[in-house]
Amino acid sequence: MTELLYLVAAVAFIVGLKQLSGPRTARKGNAVAAAGMFLATVVTLVELEVVSWRVIAAGIAVGAAIGAALALRVQMTAMPQLVAAFNGFGGAASALVAVYELDRTGGGFATETAVTVVLSLVIGVVTFTGSFVAFGKLQGIIAGRPMRLPGGQALNVALAATTAILGAWAAVSGEALPFWLALGVASIIGFTGVLPIGGADMPVVISLLNSLSGIAASMAGFVIGNQALIIGGALVGAAGLILTMQMGEAMNRSLGNVLFSGFGGGAVAVETAGKPVNRATPDDVAIALAYASNVLFVPGYGLAVAQAQHAVRDLAAALEKRDIAVGYAIHPVAGRMPGHMNVLLAEADVPYEQLFDLEQSNPKFTQTDVVLVIGANDVVNPSARDDATSPIYGMPILEVDKARTVVVVKRSLSPGFAGIDNPLFYEPDTMMLFADGKEAIESVLAAIDDV
Amino acid sequence: MTELLYLVAAVAFIVGLKQLSGPRTARKGNAVAAAGMFLATVVTLVELEVVSWRVIAAGIAVGAAIGAALALRVQMTAMPQLVAAFNGFGGAASALVAVYELDRTGGGFATETAVTVVLSLVIGVVTFTGSFVAFGKLQGIIAGRPMRLPGGQALNVALAATTAILGAWAAVSGEALPFWLALGVASIIGFTGVLPIGGADMPVVISLLNSLSGIAASMAGFVIGNQALIIGGALVGAAGLILTMQMGEAMNRSLGNVLFSGFGGGAVAVETAGKPVNRATPDDVAIALAYASNVLFVPGYGLAVAQAQHAVRDLAAALEKRDIAVGYAIHPVAGRMPGHMNVLLAEADVPYEQLFDLEQSNPKFTQTDVVLVIGANDVVNPSARDDATSPIYGMPILEVDKARTVVVVKRSLSPGFAGIDNPLFYEPDTMMLFADGKEAIESVLAAIDDV
Amino acid sequence: MQVGVPHQHTDTERRTPVVPDTVATMTEWGWNVVVSPGIGEPSGIPDQHFRDAGATVGEEAWRADLVLVVRPPSPHQLSELAPGTIVAGFLDPFVDVDTIGGLCVARLTGVALEAIPRTTLAQAMDALSSQANIAGYAAVILGSMESPRLFPMMVTAAGTIPPARVLVLGVGVAGLQAIATAKRLGASVYAYDVRPETKEQVESLGARFVDAVTVAADAGGYAVEVDESAQAAQHAALTEHVAAADLIVTTAQIPGRPAPLLVTAEMVSTMRPGSVIIDLAAATGGNVAGSRPDETVAVGGVRLLGPTNLASQYARDASRMLARNMIAMLERGRTDDHFVIDPEDEILGEATVVLDGEVLHPRSRELLEANRTANSEAAS
Amino acid sequence: MQVGVPHQHTDTERRTPVVPDTVATMTEWGWNVVVSPGIGEPSGIPDQHFRDAGATVGEEAWRADLVLVVRPPSPHQLSELAPGTIVAGFLDPFVDVDTIGGLCVARLTGVALEAIPRTTLAQAMDALSSQANIAGYAAVILGSMESPRLFPMMVTAAGTIPPARVLVLGVGVAGLQAIATAKRLGASVYAYDVRPETKEQVESLGARFVDAVTVAADAGGYAVEVDESAQAAQHAALTEHVAAADLIVTTAQIPGRPAPLLVTAEMVSTMRPGSVIIDLAAATGGNVAGSRPDETVAVGGVRLLGPTNLASQYARDASRMLARNMIAMLERGRTDDHFVIDPEDEILGEATVVLDGEVLHPRSRELLEANRTANSEAAS
Amino acid sequence: MSPEFIAGIVVFVLAGFVGLEVISKVPPTLHTPLMSGANAISGITIVGAVIAAGLAEGRFATALAFFAVVAATINVVGGFLVTDRMLEMFRKRPSRPR
Amino acid sequence: MSPEFIAGIVVFVLAGFVGLEVISKVPPTLHTPLMSGANAISGITIVGAVIAAGLAEGRFATALAFFAVVAATINVVGGFLVTDRMLEMFRKRPSRPR
Ligand SMILES: NC(=O)c1ccc[n+]([C@@H]2O[C@H](COP(=O)([O-])OP(=O)(O)OC[C@H]3O[C@@H](n4cnc5c(N)ncnc54)[C@H](OP(=O)(O)O)[C@@H]3O)[C@@H](O)[C@H]2O)c1
Ligand SMILES: NC(=O)c1ccc[n+]([C@@H]2O[C@H](COP(=O)([O-])OP(=O)(O)OC[C@H]3O[C@@H](n4cnc5c(N)ncnc54)[C@H](OP(=O)(O)O)[C@@H]3O)[C@@H](O)[C@H]2O)c1
Ligand SMILES: NC(=O)c1ccc[n+]([C@@H]2O[C@H](COP(=O)([O-])OP(=O)(O)OC[C@H]3O[C@@H](n4cnc5c(N)ncnc54)[C@H](O)[C@@H]3O)[C@@H](O)[C@H]2O)c1
Ligand SMILES: NC(=O)c1ccc[n+]([C@@H]2O[C@H](COP(=O)([O-])OP(=O)(O)OC[C@H]3O[C@@H](n4cnc5c(N)ncnc54)[C@H](O)[C@@H]3O)[C@@H](O)[C@H]2O)c1
């Protein structure tokens, strides 16, 4: 019966993971997975022939208190490092379970079991130390930039080889010593593996470590002969791997690149003049749009250069189908000739009723959920309003910075006609989508179908 | 070791199924699955403590000969019924395995095993008889139209209930009789369940029976305690269910509707004046386009009515990205005013170099893989060329019927300006996509990304 | 066979019924073509191009077996032709009684492009369509020249210019092209026609249809006359759209009847000063009160133009299309190196309004008889 | 303060520097506006509308503190103004020596719209841009009227009409709008400018850029003159495009210099008869050999038009935009109910070419001095 | 329930999930080939049939086992072959005159 | 290898496939929440920790088991809670003035 209830828990994990990967169902998915976990724990407690309830109760109480406190207190911006820390604890737990078995048996396992003990020890401890290095980097305790180690990747290769040899020894010898040695060496790999990776790449690393902690749990399952651990761990291990690859893709980096290049120290393709920008992907923009109730497009010269007018019209139509109100705010000098935007939007058959000029647009922005700026720059530059030293101070602008979210589509941070920088790009509520205007809008359109 | 090799075979099945669901990888997927099957069979033969090789060798030889002959001889148009027949054999095999066990043991199973024996008997035999009824309907041996049975669905409910009761009896009694009775009653359900369903719905029914045969195999796996059967069967059972639902969706029918309505006797929404047309879905059109090397669009008045010019231009751009050559064949009197198509295509920024008039277009069609006719009718009507009694006999037309494949997008079979029927629509090489021009092209565009 | 193409240009006529391409075709057929000198000049075709295509350039264009014309020859010109000569081209056979009379008197054969049936099959010869098409385009270009308004919307540093509003009344061939052209220029376009199927056609060009009285067309696809109450309803529905328009183009015609009055003097008076009306139906009475053929009339600040032959403005392309229509028609009657008319032919038979001095077309006959009655009444 | 808007209409001038909207604004400021009667007529604005906005309609428009003009007043008109009067509008301050002289002699102040700097900040007052924009549109409409060709491609039963080919030379404000308008009408458009950044701009309108010599602009964004060898290279690259064109619109200007010659007489002679050239630079010498200001010259079958004030054709919208530019400029100098010029102001200071009889703008001063030298040389 | 039986259930459920998830949106043109391929996989019952045939003793049992093997083999061999035939069309056509 | 161990491998492979297939294309905004949720699930090792703690005898073993339970619980409880917090944003905003 226990096994079948564990199976139910496993099904809850599967369903939960599936739901977690869609925006509409994600919250429910999390709850389903949590329910599965609750079931698995309760089943274990009920079935258990307990020697001491005290330890269990104390452990759970302490752990729950710490976990809840951290989860509920930490600021939204610190989420990634928190996940890293939690993950580290997970790895530690798996390693501890294996250590416990090792301690209990003194190392006399059957070969195949010995292999799983080694694996859960090693993977668990790598996860543990690696996660806390990642945590430190993100939290600023350790420097975020990549740290060059003596020997570079050769060091890691050597450490990994040593661990493997120790593991093999452990598997055949039936002694405890090689297990302990493997544990020790592996705990170093967590440091030497993660320290050389830059802070910007940490999310990918954490995701990979997360996948590893799943494997560790699964191995621990083999060690203590428990299918719940095997299944749950394997699920997370595999799903985490897919997620890691997708995260790398979204950053345009392969996994190998992240792990072994050591260049991810915030090495963003675009020069941000030292100031940070929020780089968005088409999917981010699609989600922002899909959850808005009204959207204003602000076209500029870049729309004309990219010939993105048809794509924009298609996107607007897709939004209207979702009952999102759309409009176009046209600045008097957008483009390079009077009426430049009108020519293009008329060609794309945008109805005249959706076009608003400067006077009509500006009062709207405070009520606007998302403003999508496509290849406009000078005409949305807040320094024309705020900065008396700016050469364009006094020019009326479209005050898009008053909207809830601003998405700017352009190819880089380079300036427009007036040749001046635009503070809008560095606002916290601004997302920058760096791409050719037409391609960007087309990818957003493709992505919005999946939201 | 056997188990692990079976696991490898199972993995081959999984990979094979995944690849089978994408056009690019489908063939390879089939080969991978076949290799898995070969592995599973060989492993079984090697591990087996055989009493008689003769039976096995003979059985495999005979089966392989029959299967290969059927598979290689049958015409492409008879494929669906062939699949039905094969499926029937699969169901029969599972049932036979269970019968064999029943015969061997005389019915003295543990309860849970007895349940699986009943299930593999019942499901296997329903698959067997059901598949052959479907085969008969498609092959024309049994009338294709839905057959009303005395008592209607009540009969099926009664039969199912009887089987269930017999099954319960078998599970608890330890006697052989109820097994045999259940087998007998269930074999009737194959007839009474499928006979009332119309020929047009048969593909969905076959897919469902296919899913059932997977379950039967899985149950047989429980009976003889073989994990290869359990896994392989469960895979097919689940995958087949998803496929069945998708097929129903593609026909705009829910599964319940197909099984219990009895109305699927070729009830197509569009009146085809008795003549059959090939109704296509956007996905079919997308695949036809994606595998073409050149495509010509033929716009007509319907394109203007639907205002589909922007969508068509987008589709052309998507094709060009795949290195497919595109062009537009413009008939002199397409639309309702001279130059009507030009106005629209210019608005959508179609380059003039891609426009071909009648004299330029007609020599091209024989070299064209796919012609996509969007809301044109009279101007592609072959009777103007072939039928001296036609009121438009003698009018020059775009001879799209000379192309390899013609796709016609319009909302119905209703005639155009001249008010006459168009034989093009009933040609075997013509696919009809019935929808508003703009929506149709947009769905094709969406579908082409997935090919 | 001898084919003549005489010089017929006037202030409002700049077209030719042949272009070098079609001359070359006729030469290939073994026909001798004579064109008057300078005939291609407004179209930008030098005489040499006709010569290169095989034609003779000379003054004897009227002395031929087949004379191709772009407008009815004068009765005097007809009277000088040899009996049996075929005159083909625009002959205005349902309105111009002098030409029909002249053809009869001189025992000539008249093949009128206006009488080509408007069927799907005859479209290649349908010169009314090809020329109406150009006229629709021309009307909007002319209107945009005459208007003090820019047509496209422009949001600029010097303020926002709203799009001009264009109203097209009568959505046949010319009306549709007018809509398309005004849309291209960025105007906000409204249109109305009495035939209900035009609503879809108007919308297929991205313009808006004005919902007012609609009446199904006759069997030939032509509009029928509406009664007085329906006309009043039309006027009521159109009033606000007329008042809001910067440019109105009217093209409404009813074959064999005077053009329907769609814009009354009162409606014109509600228009903004500076607005422009182009009445393409001015020749048959006009759709707008006060419009006069080939004149510009100012009513308040509104200008009414009644151009009757706008297509001819675009002489090169109008001639090219007309010549294509003509050659398609000639090809239908060609046997070896001759042009033979079969009165039973569903297209050529219809188009041959007069055969060797005998009036064949019922509507031309009606016209002649009505005229005779009127004359004799006047005489008595 | 008294503001006068005198009547200045001629054959080629139909605009007004105020519209009722801007009159209302000035009235709100406490300014008294007097407009000459009939001033709004070509724009379709009746006098009553000006009255409704708060203006007086009367003949005393020249007797005011601030006179708004659409073209330079004659020296005689200037001489009758009270010293200290401000004259604002188009004054042609870098070419028209009589006006500058007249302003000095009468001790007037001249604020020239032509001298407004072309900066991002001053765009609302940039009347050169707003009027050039309209001129670009007008040139294409005029060209399409004059051409015997239809602009859009049309596949019809009477044959396929290929799109007209339009070549735009000089892609400033006017050139860009010309490109956009020709594209809208369906023509196949090619364009060339000497400034390299225009390539992207041309392509942003869907037209094709003709690759020939390009030279970076000066600091102000204006083109610089090219040397002779470069000019020869330009001509060579343009020759085939000129020969293929149905319509050419030229707009190339170099501030303070004669317009560059882009189309030679020889190139014109290669064009098809019936082709049309609109030379918007005719006033400053023309981009086309043989073009003359405000005249139509026929060269072979090609017609050369040199309109100098095309914007004025679209009087309503041209006036509307001009008036918006004007009011933006006036607002910049307004203090309470007065208009005060700060010679240090980066915009108004630049635009004030003459202040109380003293010439401030260096280019105007150069002009005067060159003229004096020439006069004294002629005298000696 | 025996541990093996329970293990079987676990495996059954997991394999079922794999089956559900492995098929995403399939284009209609592939419906029939996919069905046919899946059908061939369901011929895995051949393993059961072979085991039965290998062990069968007695006339009836042998006959049963023989027919089971025949039926399963038809399903497997025919199924994979026919699927491959159907899928022949998914080869990109080269540009060619017809 | 023991049959249980082999059964474990089978289950491991199948569960792995489910994990691979269950995640299709995930929008980047969900990357972090999904990672966090998956991470919480990997806390299933709590079951192992609890078993160990229930059976632990001796100081060292008890201490090990205690810390295992604490660590696993932090992972589970904290993980699910923080995921939920992150996902709060996925509620459709009503039209509202700001
Ligand atoms: N309207 C007129 O009459 C007129 C005339 C002359 C000058 N101007 C001036 O032009 C400016 C107009 O302002 P604006 O905001 O429209 O344009 P802008 O300030 O010139 O900025 C255009 C932006 O578009 C981006 N871009 C260019 N190509 C792109 C592509 N293919 N895809 C995506 N983005 C692209 C560029 O950034 P990336 O390079 O990073 O992509 C650039 O920053 C004003 O300064 C105005 O004064 C106007
Ligand atoms: N070009 C001219 O100058 C001119 C002038 C007058 C008449 N004509 C005549 O018009 C005809 C033109 O031929 P054509 O092939 O262009 O048109 P057509 O023969 O009139 O056929 C148009 C087809 O478009 C379909 N359609 C209508 N709305 C649609 C929508 N929203 N989405 C998809 N399909 C739609 C209709 O079928 P469903 O209803 O089934 O969708 C119809 O059969 C010729 O007979 C010609 O002689 C031409
Ligand atoms: N078969 C073909 O291929 C073909 C070719 C060309 C034209 N046609 C058809 O011929 C018909 C006539 O075309 P046309 O351009 O020569 O028409 P036309 O010149 O005779 O009339 C112009 C338009 O005026 C409209 N009209 C008449 N009375 C009106 C009223 N009171 N109010 C509003 N509108 C009114 C008519 O409906 C018509 O659309 C159309 O149906 C056209 O589609 C068919
Ligand atoms: N800052 C602003 O917002 C603003 C506003 C309006 C205009 N401008 C800029 O002012 C500049 C001038 O505009 P304009 O329309 O008044 O120009 P213009 O009338 O002085 O000249 C018209 C065009 O002719 C071109 N030209 C000159 N010599 C040429 C030659 N030899 N061959 C080909 N082309 C030649 C010029 O490059 C220019 O594009 C442009 O750069 C324009 O973008 C800027």
Residue with the bigger pLDDT between B157 and A275: it is B157
Is pLDDT larger for residue C156 or for residue D221?
C156
Please list every residue in chain B whose beta carbon sits closer than 8 Å to the beta carbon of residue A349.
307, 310, 347
Nearest CA to ligand 4 atom 20: D253
Residue F68 has pLDDT above 90, yes or no: yes
Alpha-carbon distance of B152 to B263, in angstroms, equals: 13
- Is residue A315 within 8 A of residue A445, CB to CB? The reply is yes
Q: Which candidate, B185, B157, B248, B159, places its Cα nearest to that of B211?
A: B248
Q: Is 70 exceeded by the pLDDT of residue D248?
A: yes
- Confidence (pLDDT) at D224: 83
Question: What amino acid occupies position A65?
Answer: A
Q: Is residue D304 over pLDDT 80? A: yes
- What is residue E75's predicted lDDT score, i.e. its pLDDT? 93
The Cα C178–Cα C191 span in angstroms is 10
CB-based burial, A177-198: b 16+ in 10 Å, e otherwise: ebbbbbbebbbbbbbbbbbbbb
Does residue F95 surpass a pLDDT of 60? no
Q: List CB contacts of C92: < 8 A, sequence separation 6 or more.
A: C71, C72, C99, C112, C114
State the chains in contact with F (3 or more Cβ–Cβ pairs under 8 Å).
A, B, E
Are the C-beta atoms of C174 and C136 separated by less than 8 Å? yes
The one-letter code for the residue type at A40 is A
Start-to-end CA span in chain F (Å): 66
Average pLDDT, chain B: 87
Q: Do D155 and B357 touch (CB under 8 A)?
A: yes
Closest C-alpha to ligand 4, atom 44: D118
Q: Do A63 and F74 touch (CB under 8 A)?
A: yes
CA torsion angle for D95, D98, D104, D109 (degrees, to 10)? -60
pLDDT band at B274 (very low <50, low <70, confident <90, very high): low
The pLDDT score that the predictor gives to residue B196 is: 84
D contact residues 149-168, partner B, Cβ 8 Å cutoff: 152-163
Q: pLDDT (tens digit, 9 = 90+) per residue, E12-63?
A: 999 999 988 888 778 777 888 899 999 999 999 999 999 988 888 888 888 9
Break chain A down into helix, strand, coil percent, rounded to 5: 65, 5, 30
Tell me which of A17-31, B141-155, D11-25, D220-234 is least confident.
B141-155
Which among B331, B377, B397, B417 is the best mutation to test ligand 3's pocket, defined by most ligand atoms within 8 Å of the CB? Answer: B417
More confident residue, B3 or D169: D169
Residue A260: the pLDDT is: 67
Chain B nearest CA to D154, separation (Å): 4
Mean pLDDT calculated for residue range D293-311: 95
Show which residues of C are catalytic: 118, 123, 126, 129, 222
For C111-131, the pLDDT digits (tens) are: 999 999 988 888 899 999 999
CB of C204 within 8 Å of a chain A CB? The answer is no
Shortest distance between the Cα of F35 and any Cα of chain E, in A, equals: 20
Of A54-58, A213-217, D84-88, the poorest mean pLDDT is in A54-58
A positions 179-238 inside 8 Å of F (CB): 203, 206-207, 210, 213-214, 216-218, 220-238
CA of D208 to the centre of ligand 1 (A): 20
Cα within 13 Å of Cα(A193), Cβ side: 26
Q: What is the mean pLDDT of residues B349-363?
A: 91
> What 3-state DSSP class applies to D262?
coil
pLDDT at residue A266, as a whole number: 35
- pLDDT above 60 for B269: no
Check CB contact of B106 with chain D, cutoff 8 Å: no
Which residues 17-46 of chain E have a CB within 8 Å of chain F?
17-18, 21-22, 24
Average pLDDT over all residues of chain C:
93
**Residues C45 and C16 sit within 8 Å (Cβ to Cβ):** yes
Which among B410, B98, B415 is positioned nearest to B226, based on CA atoms?
B98
pLDDT at residue F27 in the model: 75
The residues, ordered by sequence, that sit 6+ positions from D366 with a Cβ below 8 Å of its Cβ are none
Q: Could you give the 3-state DSSP secondary structure of residue A11?
A: helix
CB C278 within 8 A of CB C142: yes
pTM (2 decimals)? 0.78
Can you point out the beta strands (E) in D251-346?
276-279, 296-299, 302-305, 334-335, 338-339
Mean pLDDT for the stretch of residues C323-337: 92
Q: Are B206 and B84 in contact (CB under 8 A)?
A: yes
Residue nearest to atom 35 of ligand 1 (CA): A302
Q: Give the model's pLDDT for residue B260.
A: 67
Identified catalytic residue from A357, A378, A387, A401: A378
A448 has a chain F CB within 8 A of its CB = no
Burial profile C314-347: b = 16 or more Cβ within 10 angstroms, e = fewer: bbbbbbbbbbbbbbbbbebbbeeeebebeeeeeb
Q: E2 CB near a chain F CB, below 8 Å?
A: no
Residue range C296-301: average pLDDT? Answer: 93
Q: Do E19 and B235 touch (CB under 8 A)?
A: yes
Q: Give residue A276 CA to ligand 1 midpoint distance, Å.
A: 22
Q: Tell me the pLDDT band of D246, cut-offs 50, 70 and 90.
A: very high
Q: Which residues contact B326 (CB under 8 A, 6 or more apart)?
A: B294, B295, B296, B297, B316, B319, B320, B354
Phi, then psi, of C252 in degrees rounded to 5:
-75, 130
Residue A382 DSSP symbol: T
pLDDT beyond 80 at C186: yes
In chain A, which residues have their Cβ closer than 8 Å to the Cβ of C187? Answer: none
Q: How confident is the model at residue A271 (pLDDT cuts 50, 70, 90)?
A: very low
Task: State residue B270's pLDDT score.
Answer: 37
Task: Provide the mean pLDDT of chain E.
Answer: 84
- Confidence (pLDDT) at B265: 38
Contacts of E among chains (3+ CB pairs under 8 A): A, B, F
Contact assessment for residue B327 and residue B296, using Cβ atoms and an 8 Å cutoff? yes
pLDDT > 60? residue D255? yes
Distance of residue A31 Cα from the nearest chain C Cα, in angstroms:
51
For residue A273, name the pLDDT band (cuts at 50, 70, 90). Answer: very low
Tell me: pLDDT of A265 over 80: no
* Mean pLDDT of all residues in A144-171: 83
- List A374's β-bridge partners, or say none: A299, A409
Contacts (Cβ under 8 Å, ≥6 apart) of A184? none
CB C247 within 8 A of CB C166: yes
- Chain B residues with CB under 8 Å of E3 CB are none
Chain B hits for C124, Cβ within 8 Å? 332
Backbone angles phi, psi at A339, to 5 degrees: 75, 15
- Reported as a pLDDT band with limits 50, 70 and 90, residue C168 is very high
pLDDT at F89: 64
CA-D133 nearest atom, ligand 1? 3
Q: How far is A378 from chain F (nearest CA, A)?
A: 26
Residue with tokens 């928190």: A82
The C-alpha atoms of residue B422 and residue B316 are separated, in whole angstroms, by 26
Residue A281's pLDDT is 84
Neighbour tally for C228: CB within 10 Å:
7
Average pLDDT score over chain D: 93
| pLDDT range class, residue A419, cuts 50, 70, 90 | confident
The answer, for A358 touching chain D at a CB cutoff of 8 Å, is no
Q: What is the tens place of the pLDDT at every residue in F13-51?
A: 999 999 888 887 787 778 888 999 999 999 999 999 999
SS3 D233: helix
DSSP-derived letter for residue C89 is E
- Residue for token pair 């991810």: A264
Whether C224 shows a pLDDT value over 90: the answer reads no
Reported as a pLDDT band with limits 50, 70 and 90, residue C293 is: very high
Instruction: State the Cα–Cα distance between residues C25 and D105, nearest whole angstrom.
Output: 74
The residue type found at D62 is W
Mean pLDDT of D113-131: 91
Mean pLDDT of D37-54: 95
- Is residue F98 over pLDDT 50? no
pLDDT attached to residue E90? 64
Residue F91 pLDDT more than 60?
no
Question: Mutation test of ligand 2: which of B410, B433, B444 has the most ligand atoms closer than 8 Å to its C-beta?
Answer: B410
Please judge whether A314 and B310 are an interchain contact, meaning their C-beta atoms are less than 8 angstroms apart: yes
Mean of per-residue pLDDT scores for chain A: 87
Could you give the CA distance from residue C121 to residue C356 in angstroms, rounded to a whole number? 27
**In angstroms, how far apart are the furthest CA atoms of chain B?**
85
Q: What is the mean pLDDT of residues C305-313?
A: 95
Do residues C24 and C53 touch, judged by C-beta distance below 8 A?
yes
Q: Which residue from D183, D184, D204 is facing A304, i.e. has the nearest CB?
A: D204
User: Shortest CB distance from C205 goes to which of B343, B395, B418?
Assistant: B343
Overall average pLDDT of the B41-65 stretch: 87
Q: Are B90 and E45 in contact (CB under 8 A)?
A: yes
- Give the model's pLDDT for residue A261: 60
What is the average pLDDT across A184-210?
Answer: 87
Q: A439 pLDDT band (50/70/90 cuts)?
A: very high
pLDDT score, position A150: 74
CA-wise closest residue to D90 among D82, D81, D99? D99
SS3 A33: helix
For Cα atoms A431, A436, A442, give the angle at the middle one, nearest 5 degrees: 80
- Three-class SS state of B50: coil
D:275-334 residues touching chain A, CB 8 A cutoff: none
Nearest CA residue ID for atom 46, ligand 2: B333
Please report, for residues A39, A337, B365, D219, E8, the alpha-carbon distance to residue A13 in angstroms, rounded to integers and kept in the order given.
11, 58, 56, 66, 20
Annotate B280-309 with DSSP letters as a single string: --HHHHHHHHHT-SEEEEEE-HHHHHHT-H
Q: Under the phi-then-psi rule, with left for phi > 0, alpha for psi from -120 to 50, and beta for the rest, what region is D296?
A: beta
Does the CA dihedral A371-A376-A377-A379 come out positive or negative?
Answer: negative
**pLDDT confidence of residue F22:** 87
Best residue in B309, B310, B312, B320 to probe A by mutation, most A CBs within 10 Å?
A: B310
CA-nearest of C20, C84, C82 to C47 is C20
Contacts of C180 in chain A (CB under 8 A): none
The verdict on E14 touching F (C-beta cutoff 8 Å) is yes
